[in-house]
Amino acid sequence: MKNLISIWLDGLPPSVNHLYKFANKRAYINAEARTWQKYAANAIKLQRDKNKTPSGAPVSVFIRFISPNKRRWDIDNRLKSLLDCLAKAAIIFDDCQIHSLEMRRENIKGAQAMTYIEVKEI
């Protein structure tokens, strides 16, 4: 398997519950979520091979969330925003390329909230 990206990001991605705001019968990504997505996509772009475009090949994704407390939240609610960042950063074309997905959540008291992403071509 060829490693496409391995990166630590500050913070946790916004959950789907906090991703959208609604106005005039339409859904919009809110400003806070848009800011985190822009930060994450830019950080990922800086780490990727600038001469390589996404191949469209199937990929495996591993995600590790580090949470500083035991507050309850659903691990899958943080996924949408993060996968969108991979497409915006041109690591993948679309979520449909993901053939394997593993997520892990760790509560480490006093730690900084962080997200680790590793994407490999299968």
Q: Is 80 exceeded by the pLDDT of residue 24?
A: yes
Average pLDDT of the residues in 78-94 = 90
Distance CA 75, CA 15 (A): 9
Q: Where do the DSSP E strands lie in the chain?
A: 2-10, 20-23, 26-29, 59-67, 98-107, 114-121
Helices (H), the chain: 31-47, 79-88
Average pLDDT over all residues of the chain: 88
CB 75 within 8 A of CB 105: yes
Choosing among 3.40.1190.20, 1.10.3720.10, 3.40.50.1110, 3.30.1330.70, the CATH entry for 2-121 is 3.30.1330.70
Q: Is 70 exceeded by the pLDDT of residue 51?
A: no
Instruction: Kindly list the domain boundaries of the chain, sorted by start residue.
Output: 2-121
